[in-house]
């Protein structure tokens, strides 16, 4: 059967995982933007 209490108990851990993924993606995007400013594309 579906255990609702187990789902509710695991929500904080899933939230931390989603937060970690969001932070990692934000750091990668920020790094790409900063590198683009430091080394602009020459035309």
- The pTM assigned to this predicted structure is 0.75
Question: Which tokens belong to 34?
Answer: 């900063």
Question: Which tokens belong to 6?
Answer: 């187990």
Does position 1 have pLDDT exceeding 90, yes or no? no
At 39 the three-state DSSP class reads coil
Integer CA distances (angstroms), 14 to 6, 21, 32, 36, in order: 12, 11, 27, 33
Q: pLDDT tens across 5-43, in order?
A: 999 999 999 999 999 999 999 999 999 999 999 999 888
Integer CA distances (angstroms), 18 to 5, 14, 43, in order: 20, 6, 39
pLDDT the model gives residue 16: 97
């Amino acid at each position: 059967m579906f255990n609702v209490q187990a789902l509710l108990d695991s929500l904080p851990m899933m939230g931390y995982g989603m937060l970690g993924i969001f932070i990692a993606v934000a750091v990668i995007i920020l790094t790409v933007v900063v590198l683009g400013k430091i080394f602009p594309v020459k035309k």
